[in-house]
Structure formats: structure tokens, C-alpha cells
Amino acid sequence: MRTAIIGAVLLCAGIIAAITGILPWPATVELIDRVLPILVFVVAITVVAELAAAAGVFTFVAERLTVWAGGRTWLLWLLVVVLAVLSTVFLSLDTTAVLLTPVVVVMARHVGLSPLPFALTTVWLANTASLLLPVSNLTNLLAQGRLGDLLGHPVSPIQFAWLTGAPALTAILVTVVAIYLVCRRPLRMGYQVAPTTRVANPVLFGTSAVTVVALIPALVSGVPVWIPAVQAALILTVIFFVLDRKTLSLGLVPWPLVLLASGLFLVMAALHELGLGELLDAAAGSGDDPLSLLRLAGAGMVGANAFDNLPAYLALEPVANSPARLVALLIGVNAGPLITPWASLATLLWHQRLSSLGVEISWRRYMLLGLVVAPATVLIATLVLSQTI
């Protein structure tokens, strides 16, 4: 509810800026043309993920992981790492935070393990694993269009991944090592493999699983990602309308996220018209040398943890005037939001899910860990970028 209220206030402020001329009408039209497909994608992929979760797809996979790990907690954790990375890369960080978090918490309790190592894995990897593909993060979808402008031609998901691949892999590896060091004691424990639950509706489960699997290659095919996402959402909606109509509701649409993103887009555009860009030029510097890239990535990390990663990206995007600088900015705003609770919407959603499940997390400890892990991840990933791009 708080997210929706903040989003509504920002949206009203943005509309007022457009009406009063602070944000010129041509700039407003250009902004809508750019962000509307992104918001459509966010809505569609969220509906797909929610319906797939309702069909039991994520729970089925998580329970099978406990069987495949054979009572070895460290192996179960590594399998969760793989699942969190794949979920983030192909279905977005919010999917991992919102849908995978309760699954791994229930999975851990199912076999008598502490859920905290697994919950920490989902939230950290939801952020740091979101560098690879445009669909992984809302900031990436924005950056894909910006990258196309810089290069003078549309950028496919494969081309995007070619630029971000090395720092993305680095950020994931640094995060995994950090989680292991923090949680190494509980990860050395064993557990008794518990019986798995049966799928409630095999037809619903099967059709949902096939739809999700078919969607993944479509998202990296080069077709605008909102098209296959909308198609998959419509297919699953029809399937649920026939087989499980009560699951369908307006609550499947992430209204708070849509309001927040829309408001942020308009407000940040208006602030740039008022001269924000000139101020940020001095803070972010220029150039593609390692120190300049670190300066921009650091500015993105600080901005994300001070405000949120989306406004931080929007504020700094104009100074990311080369492919290397744009990827450095993404490192800062994607891999850096590990310190404050509000650094990314995924982190807030993750905490809401934990609270609803009765899992207590100390924000003080979370922030202290983040103060170590976030700068280290951003630093190492940016240095790798400077050597590979």
C-alpha cells in the first residue's frame, strides 16, 4: 500500500509538471513512447509468474531440489543459487524476490533447515544476477534503448548479454562467495529428505510449465520482449479461466509497481529539464578508463541506496554516454542495491514476503553485510568490465 501511495503522489507530480510545461509536451510524448512497452512487459511477466506459481511450478521445482541434493545442505543451497539466477535472468529480479522467496522458505522448513541462508540468497541474487539480459531488470530495459541510441542500431538481447556478460558473471560469483562465507555454518548441516507434495491439478501444472519454458527462448529471440510476455500472459489467463477461474483477479497486476515506475519516469524527466543533468555531470565524471567507470558505478550504487535504483539510473543515464559507461552504471544500480531496504523495489517486496511467512530479518545486520558486499561486488565487476569491453 505504501508503494502505491508513493507512486500515486509521484505520478500526480509528474502530470502537473507536464501540464504546467516544466516537462515539455514533445518530451512527454517521447518518454511515453519509450516506457510504455516496458511497463506492458512488467505487467505481463508478473502475471505469467504469479499464475505459474499458483499452478505449483515453482513449488514443484523447489521440492525436487531437496530430493536431488540428497540431504546435503550445501548442495541444496547451490541448486537454489542456480534457480535464483535463472529466475532473475529470464523472469526478472522481482519474480525472484516475490515468488521464489516464499518457495525456498517453505522448502527449507519442509526439511527442517533455517530459511535465512536461502532467503538471503534470493534477495542478493535478485539484485546482482539482474545484469545479464534486458528482461532481468527494468533498468536494463531502459538501457537497451539507450544502448541502441549510442550504437546507432537496435540492440538484441544477445548483443546486450555480450556487453554485460563478464561483469554479470563476476557479480554473481562475488555474491555467491559472500553468502557462503556469511552462512557457512548452517550450510554444513545435513537434513532428512521429506516426501514431496503432489501437484493439485496436473493439467494446469503441465500447461503452465510448458508456457513458461516456451517463453524463455522467446524473450532472448530479439523480438520486443513485451510481445511474447503478453502472449504468454494471455495463454495462461485463458487456461486458468477454463480450469481455475477463482485464481484470476486484478490483484495479479502489480499496480503499485506500475504507479511507482510511471511516477518516477515523469518526475525524473522533469528534474532533468530543471537542470539535474548538469549537477550529475560533475558527480559522475566522464571517460571510459577504469577510474572513470568506477566513479560512475559508485555514483549509481550510492544513488540506488540513497533513493532507489530506478531513479538513480534515470538520473545518471544522460552521463552514461558510451557502452562502457552505460554498463558501469548498470553495475552500480543493479548490483549495488544491497545496503538499504529501499535500494530496490525487489528488496522491499522480499521483506514483505518474509514478514508474511513469519521470518524475522534484522535490517541492522542486513545493512552491515551490505556495506561490505555491495562495494566489493561493484568494484570487482567494474574492474572486470574495464578489462573486457
- State percent of the chain over pLDDT 70: 97
Give the model confidence (pLDDT) of 305-341 as tens digits.
987 888 888 888 888 989 999 999 999 999 999 999 8
pLDDT on residue 42 = 80
Cα–Cα distances (Å) from 166 to 30, 157, 328, in that order, read 32, 15, 12
pLDDT on residue 354 = 82
- Judge whether 320 and 326 are in contact, CB under 8 Å: yes
Which of 30-44, 116-130, 150-164, 223-237 is predicted with the least confidence, judged by mean pLDDT? 30-44
- Quickly count: other Cβ atoms within 10 Å of residue 365's Cβ: 10
- State percent of the chain over pLDDT 90: 39
User: CA 215, CA 378: separation in Å to the nearest integer?
Assistant: 31
pLDDT on residue 72 = 92
Bridge partner residues of 190 (DSSP): 72
Give the model confidence (pLDDT) of 362-372 as tens digits.
888 899 999 99
pLDDT on residue 277 = 64
* Model confidence at 2: pLDDT above 80: no
| Cell numbers linked to 103 | 518457495
pLDDT on residue 282 = 66
Give the model confidence (pLDDT) of 122-178 as tens digits.
999 999 999 999 989 989 988 998 999 888 888 888 999 999 999 999 999 999 999
Collapsed DSSP state (helix, strand, coil) of residue 72: strand
Residue 218 banded pLDDT, cuts 50, 70, 90: confident
Name the more confident of 2 and 171: 171
pLDDT on residue 94 = 80
pLDDT on residue 343 = 87
User: CA 167, CA 71: separation in Å to the nearest integer?
Assistant: 33
- Judge whether 304 and 343 are in contact, CB under 8 Å: yes
pLDDT on residue 174 = 97
pLDDT on residue 132 = 93
User: CA 150, CA 165: separation in Å to the nearest integer?
Assistant: 19
The pTM score is: 0.83
Give the model confidence (pLDDT) of 49-99 as tens digits.
889 888 988 888 888 888 899 899 999 999 999 999 998 998 888 888 877
User: CA 216, CA 238: separation in Å to the nearest integer?
Assistant: 20
Listed in sequence order, the residues at least 6 apart from 23 whose beta carbon sits closer than 8 Å to its beta carbon are 14, 17, 31, 266, 269, 270, 273
* Model confidence at 1: pLDDT above 70: no
Domain residue limits, the chain: 2-273+342-369
Give the model confidence (pLDDT) of 347-364 as tens digits.
877 887 787 678 888 888
Q: What's the mean pLDDT in 226-236?
A: 92
194: which DSSP letter? Answer: P
Q: Mean pLDDT for the chain?
A: 88
